[in-house]
């Protein structure tokens, strides 16, 4: 070891000044298009927009119900517009995608421990699926009565 150490012991190492010319790859704006997993991630993020669409539509439905039969019939008439039907079909697809992807991710974010051991992932996501199916069935039954 040389006797005289540089006094800047806490500063970042300076040797990078003299490194060979690194090539720094640039990330394309379309980084999410080329790869299946990235595309799935972007679609999952995008699905929240369609969740919002469904929330707004449900609020409009409740508002129509609140304001009486004429307003409700008017709301129903508007939802029969082919563009609204198409939007609803797309929104439904994204809503299911949103739900499935997040239910599948839930176990890794919230591991459940029983008796000192971590429960297998499906034991965490299965109750969510069961609750989803049961609640959907109850709503279907109530609506179709």
Partner 1 sequence: MAEAAKEKIVIEIARYSPETDHEPHFESYEVPVKREWVVLDALNHIKDNVDGSLTYRWSCRMGICGSCGMMVNGEPKLTCATFLSNYAKDGGKIRVEPLRYFPIVRDLVTEIGGFVQKLKKAKPWLIRITEPKLSEDRFLQTPEQLDRYKQFSMCINCTLCYAACPVVGLDPIFIGPAALALAQRYNMDSRDEGSAERTAVLAHPDGVWGCTFVGECTRVCPKHVDPAGAIQQYKIAAVFDWLKSFVTPRGRDASSSAAND
Which residue ranges make up the site for partner 1 (CB under 8 A)?
12, 16, 19-25, 27, 31-32, 34-35, 37-38, 41, 45, 105, 108-111, 116-118
Query: Maximum CA pair distance of the chain?
Result: 92
Report the candidate in 90, 69, 87, 70 with the shortest Cα–Cα distance to residue 79: 87
Nearer to partner 1 by Cβ, of 15 and 141: the residue is 15
DSSP 8-state class, residue 118: E
Nearer to partner 1 by Cβ, of 24 and 77: the residue is 24
Please, what is the minimum distance in Å from the beta carbon of residue 14 to partner 1? 12
Are the C-beta atoms of residues 74 and 64 closer than 8 Å to each other? yes
Nearer to partner 1 by Cβ, of 33 and 86: the residue is 33
Please, what is the minimum distance in Å from the beta carbon of residue 25 to partner 1? 7
Are the C-beta atoms of residues 14 and 7 closer than 8 Å to each other? no
Please, what is the minimum distance in Å from the beta carbon of residue 69 to partner 1? 45
Please, what is the minimum distance in Å from the beta carbon of residue 90 to partner 1? 23
Report the candidate in 87, 85, 63, 91 with the shortest Cα–Cα distance to residue 75: 63
Are the C-beta atoms of residues 106 and 132 closer than 8 Å to each other? no
Nearer to partner 1 by Cβ, of 78 and 118: the residue is 118
């Amino acid at each position: 070891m040389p006797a005289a150490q540089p006094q800047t012991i806490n500063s970042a190492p300076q040797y990078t000044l003299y490194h060979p010319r690194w090539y720094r790859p640039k990330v394309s704006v379309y980084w999410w298009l080329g790869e299946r997993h990235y595309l799935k991630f972007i679609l999952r993020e995008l699905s929240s927009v369609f969740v919002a669409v469904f929330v707004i539509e449900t609020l409009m439905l409740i508002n129509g119900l609140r304001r009486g039969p004429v307003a409700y019939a008017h709301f129903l008439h508007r939802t029969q517009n082919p563009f609204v039907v198409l939007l609803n079909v797309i929104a439904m697809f994204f809503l299911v995608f949103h739900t499935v992807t997040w239910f599948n991710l839930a176990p890794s974010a919230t591991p459940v421990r029983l008796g000192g051991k971590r429960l297998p992932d499906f034991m965490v996501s299965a109750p969510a699926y069961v609750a989803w199916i049961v609640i959907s069935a109850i709503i279907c039954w109530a609506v179709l009565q």
